[in-house]
Structure 1
Amino acid sequence: MNTLNTKRINPIQPRYHKTDSPEAFYYGTATLRGEQITRYTDCLWRIAFECGREYERKEIEQLNKRHKLINQLMSYQTKKHTELLRGKTSE
């Protein structure tokens, strides 16, 4: 009978103990254990995700402003061009 622990641990959510490795201090989780670490890393991922969404939202706003300005410029140029054509053909 196989007695090995077959429970998979998600590598994104490390479960460090105080004496495990220097990485525990690098991640700031040296004194946390088990579910606390999972909640801690989930929180960090959520913060990173929200920051990314906020950045994307701002970038989309900038692109929309640029497109709006470009469209205004193009319509102005088209209007001027048609006025010039009308002026030349009426002569």
Structure 2
Amino acid sequence: MNEFRPYLLTWVVLLALLGIVVIGAELLTGLLALAVVLGGALCMIGAIIIMFMGLRTADALMKVYATGGVLWLGFLIVLTMADYVTR
């Protein structure tokens, strides 16, 4: 049972974050709703990457590569949105 406990806790955290995101999207408006939804999504992504993809127990080089991949994806999204907004 002990090897399933971290996964179960991660699942509960993901469900709680999903509830926060849904309630925030329904009740809040404007930039506050956007901040709650994006913040919740980033926390969910972090929990999934750290726990389910094994980054918690990975060596330092793997953590560097994972961080670089996430930063690169963010960079590409920002550039794509900048191109879309300026057209």
Compute the TM-score of the two structures, normalised by the length of structure 1: 0.32
Q: Which of structures 1 and 2 has the bigger CA Rg?
A: 1
Indicate the structure whose relative CO is greater, using CA pairs within 8 Å and at least 6 residues apart: 2
Compute the TM-score of the two structures, normalised by the length of structure 2: 0.33
